[in-house]
């Protein structure tokens, strides 16, 4: 069956592309959507294909930028949470009259910051 669809795909020409949106329900599955998309792309002229490639590059660049920003945001959030936890622990230790030097060694916070708590 796959070879049938592949040979059919290769025979599609520009005159039939407008019919690709009127497909039977069985041909609207994800795999067939990809097949019909590839059929459309294969019929692009040089200018259309260049525009298509440029739009793909723009999309991929934007997606990578967003993914990177999201990862950096998550990392910053984790760092902020750890710092807040250290401050909370330092405050509790200070309430128990633990010397600032020991709190500093235990939490990694500077003594000056611990004394301000």
Structure tokens at 29: 């599955």
Cβ(107)–Cβ(86) under 8 Å? yes
In this structure, the dihedral spanned by the alpha carbons of residues 11, 17, 18 and 21, taken in order and rounded to 10 degrees, is: 90
pLDDT digits (tens, 9 = 90+) for 30-53: 677 777 788 788 888 889 889 989
Looking at the chain, the whole-number percentage of residues with pLDDT higher than 90 is 54
pLDDT confidence bin for 24, thresholds 50/70/90: low
Sequential DSSP letters for 44-55: --HHHHHHHHHH
| Interatomic CA distance for residues 11 and 22, integer angstroms | 18
pTM of the complete model beyond 0.75: no
pLDDT at 113 over 80: yes
């Amino acid at each position: 069956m796959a070879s049938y669809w592949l040979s059919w795909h290769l025979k599609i020409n520009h005159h039939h592309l407008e019919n690709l949106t009127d497909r039977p329900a069985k041909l609207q599955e994800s795999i067939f959507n990809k097949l019909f998309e590839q059929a459309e792309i294969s019929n692009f002229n040089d200018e259309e294909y260049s525009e298509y490639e440029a739009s793909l590059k723009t999309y991929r660049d934007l997606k990578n930028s967003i993914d990177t920003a999201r990862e950096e945001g998550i990392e910053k959030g984790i760092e902020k949470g750890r710092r807040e936890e250290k401050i909370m622990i330092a405050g509790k230790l200070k309430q128990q009259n633990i010397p600032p030097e020991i709190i500093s060694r235990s939490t990694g916070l500077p003594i000056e910051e611990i004394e301000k708590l």
